[in-house]
């Protein structure tokens, strides 16, 4: 089985040999008088993902280099920026059969919790980076603007509350896009559709078996 791994749209050259995905639990066990223990079922918690990334400083035949070979320092800079900027990003793992057919994807919005840079004689010039990611769920509160009713004659008139609504987008989606060097299907969907997670849908529409393999000159239809 072939794995491809993307962090914030950047494909890493060597996929981890193993990955742990922990679906956290928020259930609560309580004890009732004369009833013993009962379990209160709650919504699942945030998912934790842990794996070791190998960052080679030499170009290996088993590595993947869609934009040409980059040393380990290039990817370390990307990880540092994700941590320093305190931003969430998309984590995608694509799993393919040897035949090239897509099995299933992991596609989560996550935060980079922590990572360790390991150097050892066993790895030579290469670097191993254990990484811990946590699923991110968007949250927020409504913004309410209070406006005084200036047309009312009565001094006891109550303020009128209005909720700001998001502006509707008028961006027109093109019918197709011609692939250029450095394009990924994830980035194309983000640019034109505003949602990078639609890349499996677009891949299926264009009869692309492997969403991670697109070529300059190829026309992607929306």
Q: What pLDDT does 199 receive?
A: 86
Average pLDDT over residues 144-151: 72
Domain locations in the chain as residue ranges: 1-138
Q: Which residue has the higher pLDDT, 144 or 123?
A: 123
Q: What pLDDT does 130 receive?
A: 96
- Rounded to two decimals, the pTM is 0.60
36 in Cβ contact with 16 (< 8 Å): no
| For residue 169, pLDDT beyond 70 | no
Model confidence pLDDT, tens digit, residues 172-197: 888 899 989 888 888 888 888 888 88
Q: What pLDDT does 187 receive?
A: 86
Q: At 200, give phi and psi (nearest 5°).
A: -65, -35
| For residue 18, pLDDT beyond 60 | yes
CATH code of the domain occupying 1-138:
2.40.30.200
């Amino acid at each position: 089985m072939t794995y491809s791994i993307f962090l914030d749209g950047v494909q890493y050259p060597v996929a981890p040999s193993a990955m742990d995905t922990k679906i956290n639990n928020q259930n609560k066990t309580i004890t009732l008088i004369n009833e013993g223990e009962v379990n209160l079922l709650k919504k699942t918690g945030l998912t934790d993902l842990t794996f070791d990334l190998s960052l080679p400083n030499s170009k290996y035949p088993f590595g993947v280099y869609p934009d040409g070979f980059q040393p380990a320092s290039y990817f370390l800079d990307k990880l540092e920026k994700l941590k320093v900027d305190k931003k969430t990003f998309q984590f995608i793992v694509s799993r393919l059969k040897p035949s090239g057919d897509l099995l299933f994807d992991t596609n989560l919005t996550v935060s980079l919790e922590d990572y360790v840079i390991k150097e050892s004689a066993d790895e030579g010039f290469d670097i191993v980076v254990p990484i811990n990611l946590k699923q991110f769920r968007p949250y927020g509160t409504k913004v309410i603007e209070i406006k005084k009713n200036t047309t009312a004659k009565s001094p006891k008139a109550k303020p009128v509350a209005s909720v700001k609504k998001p502006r509707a987008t008028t961006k027109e989606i093109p019918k197709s896009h011609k692939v250029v060097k450095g394009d990924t299907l994830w980035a194309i969907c983000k640019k034109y559709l505003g949602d990078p997670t639609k890349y499996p849908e677009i891949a299926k529409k264009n009869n692309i078996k492997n969403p991670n393999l697109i070529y300059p000159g190829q026309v992607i239809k929306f």
